[in-house]
Amino acid sequence: MHAHSDGRPTERKLMARKSSRSTSFDVAALAGVSQSVVSRAFTPGSRIADETRTRVLEAALKLNYVPNSIASSLTTKRTNIVALIIGNLDNPFYVHVLHTFSRRLQEQGRQVLIFTVEPNSESDEAIMHLLKYQVDGVVLTAAQLSTRMISLCHDRGIPIVLFNRYIPGSDASGVRCDNVAGGALIAEAFLAAGAQNFALITGDLKGTTSGDRVRGFVERLLDGGVKRSNIVEVHGHSSYEGAFNATIKLIRDKNRVRPDALFGVNDIMAMGAIDALRHRLGLRVPDDIMVGGFDDIPEGRRLPYQLTTVRQPIEQMVNETLSILHLDDPTEPIARGIDRPIKGRLIWRHTIPVPPAYRGEADVTKSED
């Protein structure tokens, strides 16, 4: 930096401004080495004598020096920041997802820049922001995104992967639960338990997730000989409240027979449905009507619910996502058009009577997660 004189020119910056952060130059001066040595001292595999490194580190400690990542990003072109766009924190499932990503990424020494977008609004604006911050990668979950933005990211060399969502035919990559198969799992459970009239509470209509679960569910029922007219669909808006209200309307509809099985396309909706059934409609679950969910959120395991559901293997899905991102070697070309469906598993609890064939599988108490 500027003028400094003779032997130990440490004073200058130290006296400078009250809260000024010290730089590698200050440390270099104090340690009596060149600035690049300081840089090396903080770079794991670099050529530097152990003895020098400790001396530098000591000096750094004395000056409360912390390397400026912003500055280093400028040259390395890596920020070690991953953006997470998340569209629905009201569903504990996504909180869990957030937590899992955050933990993993922190373990790797990466930072998470979070963007919450309101349900049903696009994330395009968020993308513009994170583009400015040169993030190393983007994970998008429970939110919409235009394909234009996806290619904008890709063009700039920023990989983006959709979590629990995919855009057929686009070149966005995604990791998701095998929702079709999962929906079928619930259908099978209902069938095995002897249900005959079915209701579905659907979620977000824009994504593929809800649609796939519905499809897998319905197809399996039809395969099982159920008539299409014995399957009703109502819209639960992916939320507890939406499902709660939809359930009340559904059951009070005098024009149709009451379903004896209800599939909440995600757990939080299944919970809303259960509460409506029990506390508003005076019905017993599963005696009067059985209920199935999807996700396996911890809340669904609690005693008031004990929800039979399909477990999404979050850890595994997060790992897949991260591996597609290729965070640690940016030279790797961006993975395009990958659609990685991962099988979920049926967890038997108490909202669907366990048929004899399945006894012993039931997870009656708490989680083992």
Among 12, 25, 113, 313, binds DNA (CB under 7 A): 25
Q: Which does 51 bind (CB under 5 to 8 A by kind): its own copies, DNA, none?
A: DNA
* Residue (of 256, 156, 266) closest to 209 by Cα position: 266
Q: Which does 25 bind (CB under 5 to 8 A by kind): DNA, its own copies, none?
A: DNA
Structural tokens at position 158: 């920023």
Which residues have CB under 8 Å from 263's CB, separation 6+? 183, 186, 187, 190, 198, 199, 200, 201, 213, 217, 270, 291, 292, 293, 294
Among 106, 108, 147, 316, binds its own copies (CB under 8 A): 106
What one-letter code names the amino acid at 78? Answer: R
CA distance 191 to 347: 16
Among 24, 202, 209, 308, binds DNA (CB under 7 A): 24
Question: What Å distances lie between residue 135 and 81, 122, 131, 171, CA to CA?
Answer: 5, 19, 7, 20
Nearer to DNA by C-beta: 77 or 302? 77
Among 12, 57, 72, 114, binds DNA (CB under 7 A): 72
Q: Which does 95 bind (CB under 5 to 8 A by kind): its own copies, DNA, none?
A: its own copies
Nearer to its own copies by C-beta: 134 or 323? 134
- Spatial contact of 342 and 174, defined as CB atoms under 8 Å apart: no
Q: Which of residues 160-219 bind its own copies (CB under 8 A)?
A: none
Q: Which of residues 281-300 bind its own copies (CB under 8 A)?
A: 298-299
Q: Exposure of 131 by Cβ count < 10 A (0-12 exposed, 13-18 middle, 19+ buried)?
A: middle
Task: Kindly compute the dihedral angle of the four CA atoms of residues 161, 213, 121, 159, in this order, to the nearest 10 degrees.
Answer: 0
Any idea what DSSP says for residue 122?
A: B
User: Given its phi and psi angles, is residue 288 left (phi above 0), alpha (psi -120 to 50 degrees) or beta?
Assistant: alpha
Q: How many residues bind its own copies (CB under 8 A)?
A: 58
Nearer to its own copies by C-beta: 54 or 76? 76
CA distance 41 to 19: 24
Nearer to its own copies by C-beta: 179 or 321? 321
Residue 110 near DNA by CB under 7 A: no
Residue 51 near DNA by CB under 7 A: yes
Largest CA distance in the chain: 94
Among 21, 227, 256, 345, binds its own copies (CB under 8 A): 21
Q: Which of residues 303-322 bind its own copies (CB under 8 A)?
A: 303-304
CA distance 53 to 365: 54
CA distance 175 to 269: 22
Nearer to DNA by C-beta: 65 or 294? 65
Residue 310 near DNA by CB under 7 A: no
Among 57, 114, 181, 192, binds its own copies (CB under 8 A): 114
Cis peptide before 286 (omega within 30 of 0): yes
For strands 198-202 and 339-342, give the pairing.
unpaired
Nearer to its own copies by C-beta: 186 or 277? 277
Structural tokens at position 98: 């957030």
Any idea what DSSP says for residue 304?
A: T
Closest distance of CB 40 from DNA, Å? 6
Block residue for tokens 């595994």: 316
Residues that bind DNA (CB under 7 A): 1, 21, 23-25, 32-37, 39-40, 42-43, 47-49, 51-52, 65, 67-68, 71-72, 74-76
Residues that bind its own copies (CB under 8 A): 1, 18-21, 64, 66-71, 73-74, 79, 81, 89-90, 92, 95, 98-99, 102-103, 106, 109, 111-116, 126, 128-134, 152, 154-157, 240-241, 275, 278-280, 298-299, 302-304, 334, 366
